[in-house]
């Protein structure tokens, strides 16, 4: 993905100086080796930012409904948890209208989660951060928040 994004960056003559930005959104799936690889790739890529969730993006969706520090064993668990709040939830569903009214709650819950890891001495984004998500960075950049 990174190589394709870098190729598109050059092909489209994008420039950080002009304010251009690119993101790759990834699920870490509770895999420490994947988290480490993404950290290494991020150091090499100055124009493209990785936005990660562990284990998956559904963590961000769940935070719209509740604050949780519950560690998920895999990417299936958050999807099951989310189905408690959005009956019949599936990955392909458009749930933006459901989540939008609770965006401020999600942001507040995410800040609480960051504070929780800080009290544990766990750096945000480390393999021990489960649940976690960086999706808010893109939303802030797009001025959704």
Whether 68 maps to a domain, the answer reads yes
Phi, psi angle pair for 59, to nearest 5°: -55, -45
Quote the number of domains for the chain: 1
Whether 143 maps to a domain, the answer reads no
Beta carbons of 86 and 45 less than 8 angstroms apart: no
Average pLDDT over residues 68-83: 96
Q: What is the pLDDT of residue 144?
A: 64
Whether 141 maps to a domain, the answer reads no
> pLDDT above 90 covers what percent of the chain?
68
Q: Which domain holds residue 68?
A: 2-10+20-135
Please write the tens of the pLDDT for every residue from 80-132. 999 999 999 999 999 999 999 999 999 999 999 999 999 999 999 999 999 99
Handedness of CA 78, 71, 67, 26 (dihedral sign): negative
HEC readout, the chain: CHHHHHHHHHHCCCCHHHCCCEEEEEECCCCHHHHHHHHHHHHHCCCEEEEEEECCCHHHHHCCCCCCCCCCCCCHHHHHHHCCCCCCCCCCCCCHHHHHHHHHHHHHHHHHHHHHHHHHCCCCCCCCCCCEECHHHHHHHCCCC
Whether 27 maps to a domain, the answer reads yes
pLDDT tier at 145, thresholds 50, 70, 90:
low
Is pLDDT above 60 for 48? yes
Average pLDDT over residues 49-64: 96
Whether 59 maps to a domain, the answer reads yes
pLDDT tier at 20, thresholds 50, 70, 90:
confident
Tell which wins on pLDDT, 44 or 123. Answer: 123
Whether 140 maps to a domain, the answer reads no
Whether 86 maps to a domain, the answer reads yes
Whether 46 maps to a domain, the answer reads yes
Q: What is the pLDDT of residue 7?
A: 84
Beta carbons of 32 and 122 less than 8 angstroms apart: no
Is pLDDT above 90 for 44? no
């Amino acid at each position: 993905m990174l190589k394709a994004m870098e190729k598109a960056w050059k092909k489209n003559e994008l420039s950080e100086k002009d304010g251009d930005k690119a993101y790759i959104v990834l699920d870490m799936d509770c895999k420490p080796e994947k988290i480490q690889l993404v950290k290494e790739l991020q150091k090499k890529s100055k124009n493209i930012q990785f936005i990660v969730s562990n284990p998956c993006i559904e963590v961000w969706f769940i935070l719209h409904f509740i604050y949780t520090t519950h560690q998920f064993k895999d990417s299936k668990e958050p999807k099951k948890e989310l189905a408690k709040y959005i009956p019949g939830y599936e990955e392909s569903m458009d749930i933006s209208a459901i989540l939008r009214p609770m965006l401020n709650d999600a942001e507040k819950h995410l800040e609480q989660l960051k504070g929780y890891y800080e009290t544990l001495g766990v750096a945000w984004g480390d393999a021990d951060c489960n649940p976690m998500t960086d999706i808010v960075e893109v939303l802030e950049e797009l001025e959704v928040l």
